[in-house]
C-alpha cells in the first residue's frame, strides 16, 4: 500500500512551499453555470466532470501529488431525485471511462465517504476502482462521494471505540495520528490548499479534521469553467501565504 510523505506542522513550518502536495477542491457552481445557459443542472455537472479531468491533468503537470474533490455530499440526497441520479450516473461513467487510463498513468483512486446507502452497482465500481489502483503511487485522486466530514469523524470514532471495546487498544492509545489513520484519507497528507469555486466562502462539511491547517483560496470561477489557469492562480495565491501552524514567524521577537 502506498502512502504520501506527510506534510504538516512537523515538516512544513514557515513560508509555504510553492507547490502544495495535496489540493482539496469544493467544485461549486455547476448549477449556476447551467442556469446561465438555459441548460438543466445535470449539464453543469457533466461539464464539471470535464473540468475535473482537466484539473487533475494540470495538477499532475504542476507537480501536485494529491487532489481530493467533493463530488456528492451526504446532504446532496436532499436534491431532486433526477439530479441525484445524474450525479450517480456521472460517477459510474467517470470510473468506467477513465479507470483504465488512470491505472496506466499510475494514479491511485480512492473514494472517500460512506458506502452505506450507495446502490450496489456503484459500491462495486468504487471497490473496483480502489482495488485496481491500490498499488499506484504517482498521483492520488480521491473523490469524496456520499461524503460528510462529520459523518466521517463519527465513523472513525466508532471504529476506534470498537477496538477499545475488543481490548485491541486502550483509550489512551488514541492519538491524533491514530485518529487520522481511521479516516477515509488515511495514508494521505492533510491538504495544504483547499480551493472552493463559484465565490462561496464556506467549508460545507468537507474534510473537517484534515483541513485544520489548510490554506483556503476562494475562486469566483464557476467549476465547469475551472481550468489550468485558474488552478495556477490558486496555487500562486497559496505560494504567497505564510504558514505558521500556530507558531510565530521565524526571526520574530
Binding residues for ligand FPP, per CB under 6 A?
Answer: 27-32, 45, 48-49, 52, 71, 76, 87, 90-91, 94, 143, 198, 223
Q: Is 73 helix (H, G, I), strand (E, B) or coil?
A: strand
Task: Copy the grid coordinates of residue 131.
Answer: 482495488
User: One of 28, 98, 190, 192 is an active-site residue; which one?
Assistant: 28
Q: Is 123 helix (H, G, I), strand (E, B) or coil?
A: helix
What is the smallest separation between the CB atom of 162 and ligand FPP, expressed in angstroms?
31
User: One of 17, 54, 76, 187 is an active-site residue; which one?
Assistant: 76
Select 64 or 222, whichever has its Cβ closest to ligand FPP. 222
Q: Which residue is nearest to ligand FPP (CB)?
A: 31
Whether 190 contacts 214, CB under 8 Å: yes
What is the smallest separation between the CB atom of 34 and ligand FPP, expressed in angstroms?
8
Select 84 or 212, whichever has its Cβ closest to ligand FPP. 84
Whether 65 contacts 22, CB under 8 Å: yes
98 a catalytic residue: no
Quickly list DSSP for 139-179. EEEEEEEEE-HHHHHHHHHHHHHHHHHTTSS-GGG--HHHH
What is the smallest separation between the CB atom of 51 and ligand FPP, expressed in angstroms?
7
Could you give the angle at which helices 41-62 and 228-239 cross, rounded to 10 degrees? 60
76 a catalytic residue: yes
Sign, Cα dihedral of 113, 116, 122, 125: positive
Select 92 or 163, whichever has its Cβ closest to ligand FPP. 92
Select 23 or 160, whichever has its Cβ closest to ligand FPP. 23
What is the smallest separation between the CB atom of 94 and ligand FPP, expressed in angstroms?
4
Distance (Å, rounded) from C-alpha 251 to C-alpha 242? Answer: 13
Select 17 or 151, whichever has its Cβ closest to ligand FPP. 151
Distance (Å, rounded) from C-alpha 28 to C-alpha 199? Answer: 9
What is the smallest separation between the CB atom of 76 and ligand FPP, expressed in angstroms?
5
Whether 56 contacts 102, CB under 8 Å: no
Q: Which residues are catalytic?
A: 28, 76
Amino acid at each position: 500500500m502506498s502512502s504520501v510523505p506527510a506534510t504538516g506542522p512537523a515538516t512544513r513550518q514557515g513560508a509555504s512551499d510553492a507547490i502544495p502536495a495535496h489540493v482539496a477542491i469544493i467544485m461549486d457552481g455547476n448549477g449556476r453555470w447551467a442556469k446561465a445557459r438555459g441548460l438543466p443542472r445535470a449539464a453543469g455537472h457533466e461539464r464539471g466532470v470535464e473540468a475535473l479531468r482537466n484539473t487533475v491533468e494540470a495538477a499532475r503537470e504542476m507537480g501536485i501529488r494529491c487532489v481530493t474533490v467533493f463530488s456528492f455530499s451526504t446532504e446532496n440526497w436532499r436534491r431532486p431525485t433526477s439530479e441525484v441520479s445524474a450525479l450517480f450516473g456521472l460517477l459510474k461513467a467517470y470510473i468506467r471511462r477513465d479507470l483504465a487510463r488512470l491505472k496506466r498513468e499510475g494514479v491511485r483512486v480512492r473514494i472517500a465517504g460512506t458506502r452505506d446507502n450507495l446502490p450496489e452497482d456503484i459500491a462495486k465500481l468504487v471497490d473496483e476502482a480502489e482495488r485496481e489502483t491500490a498499488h499506484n503511487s504517482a498521483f492520488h485522486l480521491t473523490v469524496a462521494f456520499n461524503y460528510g466530514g462529520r459523518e466521517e469523524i463519527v465513523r472513525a470514532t466508532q471504529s476506534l471505540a470498537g477496538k477499545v471495546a475488543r481490548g485491541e487498544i486502550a483509550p489512551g492509545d488514541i492519538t491524533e495520528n491514530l485518529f487520522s489513520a481511521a479516516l477515509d484519507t488515511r495514508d494521505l497528507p492533510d491538504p495544504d490548499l483547499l480551493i472552493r469555486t463559484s465565490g462561496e466562502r464556506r467549508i460545507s462539511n468537507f474534510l473537517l479534521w484534515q483541513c485544520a491547517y489548510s490554506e483556503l483560496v476562494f475562486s469566483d470561477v464557476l467549476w465547469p469553467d475551472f481550468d489550468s489557469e485558474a488552478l495556477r492562480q490558486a496555487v500562486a495565491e497559496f505560494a504567497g501565504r505564510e504558514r505558521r501552524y500556530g507558531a510565530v514567524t521565524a526571526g520574530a521577537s
